[in-house]
Structure 1
Amino acid sequence: MKVLIGVDPHKASVAVAVVDEATGELLERGGFPQNRAGLRSLERWARRFPERRWAVENAGGLGRYLAGRLSAAGESVVDVPPKLSARVRVLSSFAGNARKNDGLDALATALAASRNERLAAVDPEAASEVLRLLSERREDLVAERTRALNRLHGLLRDLVPGGVAGTLSAHRAARILRGIRSRGGASARLRRRLASEVLRDIRTLDRKIAGLNERIEAEVEASGTTLTEIFGVGPILAAKIIGTVGNVARFRTKAHFASYSGTAPVEASSGEVVWA
Structure 2
Amino acid sequence: GAARLLVEIADITRFPNRAHFASWNGTAPIDASSGEQVRHRLSRAGNRQINRVLHIMATVQLRNPTEGRAYFDRKKASGKTSMEAMRALKRRLSDIVYRCMISDAVATMAAGPGGHRGTTTDSSVTDSHPPAGSSEKSLPGPAVTQDRTLLPAVS
Task: Tell me, yes or no, whether TM beats 0.5.
Answer: no
Q: TM-score, normalised by structure 2?
A: 0.36
Q: TM-score, normalised by structure 1?
A: 0.23
Which of the pair has the greater relative contact order for Cα pairs under 8 Å at 6+ separation?
A: 2
More strand by share: 1
Larger Rg: 2
